[in-house]
């Protein structure tokens, strides 16, 4: 991954740049990085704060052989790749909150946005968007983010080389993706569970169906979260957001 890489000074969103490349037929593994995004996008239509020089704002083109129903697995895989790269490159004790936020000491350090393009109900490609807060100071955060976000600089007390970290993320992602295509999701699921901060914890899930409280038990072979409710019933959660309540 990253053998074709475009580095931009400023763009509305690296997701849009990769979409354009994908539609032009560029092959898998192409990457766009930007110093700054003026309209960075988060999950659920939120904005992603992407000021110049402070983070890794990048999108990667994937053309998986697997079918559309496997895209939840790819989102977990991408979070796992970032988490492993952060741990090995900086030594910071990062963990994953289902489905794919990377947290350090309970604060979010990385978000992932997986977007898919379809044609006749078939998957044409996926774009994995990765935003990592690298060299933010505490005072760089707007008020609403400062209690919930953190950066590698805050956690390590040092500035971190964004280029080398981005390269480490791409290497990790390529290796896990290769493993996934050859061996399937189970090995990825085991690695993911080992770095999860949300398993065997009391959680609250909110999604389009409402709010459920219970304990996260694990992920199934599709990447969905298995939750045991307070009354003992086990349910499978395919999408949504969780918060830790214990
Ligand atoms: C989230 O946690 O809500 C997902 C955030 C994803 C942010 C990244 S930054 C690079 C790529 N381009 C975007 O506009 N968004 C993703």
Residues 172 and 214 in one domain: no
Residues 115 and 32 in one domain: yes
CA of residue 233 to ligand 1 center, whole Å = 34
pLDDT of 70 reads: 78
Q: What is the CATH number of the domain that holds 101?
A: 3.30.930.10
CA of residue 214 to ligand 1 center, whole Å = 28
Interacting residues of 24 by C-beta distance below 8 A, sequence separation 6+? none
CA of residue 163 to ligand 1 center, whole Å = 18
pLDDT of 222 reads: 92
How crowded is residue 74: how many other Cβ atoms within 10 Å of its Cβ?
A: 25
The sign one gets for the Cα dihedral 218, 220, 224, 229 is negative
DSSP string, the chain: --SSEEEEEEES-HHHHHHHHHHTTPPTT-EEEEEEESS-B-GGG-B----TTSEEEEEEEE--SS-GGGHHHHHHHHHHHHHHHHHHHH----EEETTTEEEETTEEEEEEEEEEEEETTEEEEEEEEEEEE-S--GGGS-TTTTTTB--HHHHHSS---HHHHHHHHHHHHHHHHHHHHHH-SHHHHHHHHHHBSSTTSEEEEEETTEEEEEEEEEE-TTSPEEEEETTS-EEEE-S-EEEE--
ipTM: 0.99
Write the pLDDT tens digit of every residue in 173-199: 999 999 999 999 999 999 999 999 989
pLDDT of 11 reads: 98
Q: What is the CATH number of the domain that holds 229?
A: 2.30.30.100
Residues 174 and 213 in one domain: no
CA of residue 226 to ligand 1 center, whole Å = 26
The span from the CA of 27 to the CA of 220, in Å, is: 31
In terms of residues, how long is the chain? Answer: 246
Q: Which atom of ligand 1 is nearest to the CA of 14?
A: 12
Average pLDDT of the segment spanning 136-148: 97
Closest residue by CA, ligand 1 atom 3:
42
How crowded is residue 166: how many other Cβ atoms within 10 Å of its Cβ?
A: 23
Q: Which atom of ligand 1 is nearest to the CA of 46?
A: 3
pLDDT of 122 reads: 82
Residues 98 and 154 in one domain: yes
Look up residue 64 and give its two tokens.
Answer: 């998986």
Burial status of residue 63 (CB atoms within 10 A of its CB: 0-12, 13-18, 19 or more): middle
Domain that holds residue 107: 5-195
CA of residue 108 to ligand 1 center, whole Å = 13
Closest residue by CA, ligand 1 atom 16:
129
Average pLDDT, the chain: 94
Residues 188 and 213 in one domain: no
Residues 38 and 109 in one domain: yes
On whether the CB atoms of residues 33 and 8 are closer than 8 A, the answer is: yes
Binding-site positions for biotin? 37, 41-43, 108
- Bridge partners (DSSP) of residue 119 are 122
Q: Which atom of ligand 1 is nearest to the CA of 12?
A: 14
Residue 24 has pLDDT above 70, yes or no: yes
Residues 228 and 150 in one domain: no
Residues 114 and 230 in one domain: no
pLDDT of 47 reads: 97
On whether the CB atoms of residues 230 and 196 are closer than 8 A, the answer is: no
Residues with CB under 6 A from ligand 1: 13-15, 37, 40-43, 46, 48, 50, 57-59, 101, 111-113, 129-131
pLDDT of 3 reads: 84
Residues 139 and 180 in one domain: yes
Look up residue 6 and give its two tokens.
Answer: 């475009």
Write the pLDDT tens digit of every residue in 77-110: 999 999 999 999 999 999 999 999 999 999 999 9
Using the structure block, give the residue that is written with the tokens 């699921």: 189
How crowded is residue 210: how many other Cβ atoms within 10 Å of its Cβ?
A: 8
pLDDT of 118 reads: 86
Ramachandran sector of residue 25 (left: φ over 0; alpha: ψ -120 to 50; beta: rest): left
Binding-site positions? 37, 41-43, 108
Q: Which atom of ligand 1 is nearest to the CA of 43?
A: 3
Closest residue by CA, ligand 1 atom 2:
111
pTM of the shown model: 0.95
Residue 125 has pLDDT above 90, yes or no: yes
- pLDDT band at residue 69 under the 50/70/90 scheme: low
């Amino acid at each position: 991954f990253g053998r074709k890489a475009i580095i931009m000074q400023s763009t509305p969103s690296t997701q849009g740049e990769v979409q354009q490349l994908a539609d032009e037929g560029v092959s898998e593994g192409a990457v766009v990085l930007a110093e700054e995004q003026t309209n960075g996008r988060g999950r659920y239509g939120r904005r992603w704060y992407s000021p110049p020089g402070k983070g890794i704002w990048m999108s990667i083109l994937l053309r998986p052989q697997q079918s559309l129903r496997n895209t939840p697995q790819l989102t977990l895989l991408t979070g796992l790749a970032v988490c492993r790269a952060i741990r090995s490159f900086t030594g910071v004790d990062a963990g994953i909150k289902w489905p794919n936020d990377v947290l350090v000491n309970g604060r979010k350090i990385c978000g992932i946005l997986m977007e898919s393009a379809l044609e006749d109900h078939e998957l044409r490609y996926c774009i994995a968007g990765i935003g990592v807060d690298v060299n933010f100071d505490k005072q760089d955060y707007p008020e609403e983010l400062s209690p919930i976000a953190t950066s590698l600089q805050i956690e390590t007390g040092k500035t971190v080389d964004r280029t080398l970290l981005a390269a480490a993320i791409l290497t990790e992602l390529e290796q896990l993706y290769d493993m996934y295509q050859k061996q399937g999701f189970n090995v990825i699921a085991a690695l993911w569970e080992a770095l999860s901060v949300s398993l065997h914890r009391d959680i609250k899930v909110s999604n389009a169906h409402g709010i459920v409280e219970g304990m996260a038990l694990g992920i199934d072979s599709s990447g969905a979260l298995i939750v045991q409710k307070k009354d003992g019933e086990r349910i499978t959660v395919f999408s949504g957001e969780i918060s830790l309540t214990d």
